[in-house]
Structure 1
């Protein structure tokens, strides 16, 4: 068993600890409290976080070098992102293994591409050893896109500082997070629905030129799957639609509930498979009734009947940041739904790229 430790000077640890633990759990590292220490377990190893008055002690353990660096990277990256404003200095001591390939990196090859709607493309990928992606509670993956001029793909590595070592010493690989629409591990197939929002980010550029035989890297899975419940409320825009579709397809036959989905117009509606007890309502931005609404998705959530007992309800929300923030505020502060019954997150933020969000850190998603 390999291990490494660090003690991080962290004057405001009490303010940031809940968000750090939540981020770890969302990225396939569920946390268990143990006598003043929080144990975050992952498929690669574990991290023990012991908060002090103005510091945070971290001890990580794993069976192999690649797994140790994977845990080290996850802890370093998530804490650094959540507490970006604190400019923390995280220096590890203990076992050093040198740069290693991420043990959860899978290479996927485009098998075919299908147009689902005018702006939604479904890509079926082929790959090996995809069983780790076949999970219902971790439904996202980070894809790595090779530059257009690369003929021999190169992939990042993880070092003993918990940082990514990019090919050529620079981040030439673009990356974005997507919902895994479906997985068939025995057949080595993985489906992802891409929404072409018209932007110029690495995912959008890759999507427009993608052809069968192209390769991408996939890391994960992570984050934001559904929780068991008798009733569901699913809320999202085009970026949340793949997750909503997957949750509905995987739901038990006796599930009851409602899905609220906002899309541009009639052409972006999809025929979804779902239990008979679940209704889907399509909100169309092009319709005159929504044209004057500043936050039509949030308004649709507010308009529901929240006077009935909600103890058997689970709510899943995936959409643009400002809509997400308004909906989460309503659910927690006005509808009084406990956090254990909510999974809510923003897929994107209007006017900001992922690089902008990373530069700001946790404030960009928690403001």
Structure 2
């Protein structure tokens, strides 16, 4: 439910090579990729650029997983991606935990659809650890001195990351499972003036926050980029199959009351 159209993507997979790996938090690993397969790779105007990684799944099979481009260094030809890791859960996390320099990974992309509105009076960025890469990239684009409020739900203090921006930064971490941030947002004091909002992460949480912003806060639709990255209890494949229904229900939540700037 991002506001901007998604650009066409190169369908021919690229092959990137692991250059380095760092443990950012107990549940997040940063991998920097390089190699000739990144020749010609480029990102554009968006701060939520993503790539489709082809994660090995055994028996010459792969599983496609979508990850945000944390950083693209065109001069060095290096692509940085941050992976959320919860033990042996899933495919991408365990791959990242085991990855070593020299390992390779195929991917498609990039795509994207959001960038902070430079005319907004203030900015609201909401998510969970899976969204921190996109939030961090977006913070770099906030104009100097403009208020930006970041609300992130994380498992605990060890999952918090330092954030930086040219803007006037206000960060609030909520510790708890998916959905714990909804109450925080409902009671949060919003600044005056038009907002540019980015709400991504666990699908049910995003749906609840989006409804609150549109219905209770009366924020115009076009000022909100909202999309589920994943859904509790569903695999990535299951979430992709369910997303059309999620979109329908999310629209049903607000169909009669969501305002517009028409």
The alignment's TM-score, normalised by the length of structure 1, stands at 0.61
Q: Structure 2 vs 1, CA of residues 184 and 230 (structure 1 numbering), >3 Å: closer, same or farther?
A: farther
Q: In structure 2, what is the equivalent of residue 346 of structure 1?
A: 228
Q: Which runs of 4+ in 1 moved over 4 A?
A: 147-150
**CA distance in 1: counterparts of 2:155 and 2:216, whole angstroms:** 29
Q: Which residue of 1 aligns with 2:187?
A: 303
Matching of residue 116 in structure 1 with residue 43 in structure 2: no
**What is the distance in 2 between the residues matched to 1:279 and 1:360?**
34
Distance 1:334 1:322 in 2: 17
DSSP 3-state at the match of 1:239? helix
Distance in 2, matches of 1:309 and 1:271, equals: 26
Tell me the SS of whatever aligns to 1:226: coil
Using a 3 Å threshold, how does the CA distance of structure 1 residues 199 and 356 change in structure 2: closer, same or farther? farther
Does residue 280 (structure 1) correspond to residue 171 (structure 2)? The answer is yes
Pair 132,193 (structure 1): closer, same or farther in 2 beyond 3 Å: same
Q: Which runs of 5+ in 1 are unaligned?
A: 1-18, 29-41, 45-69, 71-101, 151-171, 286-290
**Would you say the 8 A contact 2:56–2:63 is kept in 1?**
yes
Give the RMSD, CA atoms, in angstroms: 2.5
Structure 2 alignment gaps of length 5 or more:
250-262
Shift of 1:309: 4.2
Q: Is 1:220 matched with 2:109?
A: yes
Q: What is aligned with 1:209?
A: 98
Distance 1:247 1:26, change over 3 A: same
Corresponding position of 1:195: 84
Q: Secondary structure at the match of 2:75?
A: helix
Task: After TM superposition, give the deviation of residue 250 of structure 1 in Å.
Answer: 3.3
Q: How much does 1:225 deviate?
A: 2.4
- Pick closer, same or farther for the CA change 1:281–1:349 going to 2, 3 Å: same
Cα drift, residue 200 of structure 1? 3.0
CA–CA separation in structure 1 for the residues paired with 2:173 and 2:135: 12
Q: Give the Å deviation of 1:279.
A: 1.1
Larger Rg: 1
The superposition leaves residues 116-170 of structure 1 with CA deviations (integer Å, 9 ceiling, x where unpaired) of 01111000011423542254255111111234566xxxxxxxxxxxxxxxxxxxx
Cα pair 2:121 2:193 within 8 Å, conserved: no
CA deviation vs aligned residue, 1:224-264 (integer Å, no higher than 9, x gap): 42232341111111111111111113333232121111111
**Partners in 2 of 1:130 and 1:297 — Cα distance?**
40
Superposed, 1:147-158 pairs within 5 Å as 147=57
TM-superposition CA deviations, 1:207-238 (whole Å, max 9, x none): 22211111112212223422323411111111
Preserved CA contact (<8 Å) 1:134 1:183: no
SS of structure 2 residue aligned to 1:240: helix
- Secondary structure at the residue paired with 1:326? helix
Change (3 A) 1:135 1:184: farther
Q: Give the whole-Å Cα distance in 2 for the aligned partners of 1:301 and 1:199.
A: 32
Aligned residues: 245
The whole-number CA distance in structure 2 between the counterparts of 1:138 and 1:120 is: 18
Q: 1:251 and 2:134 equivalent?
A: no
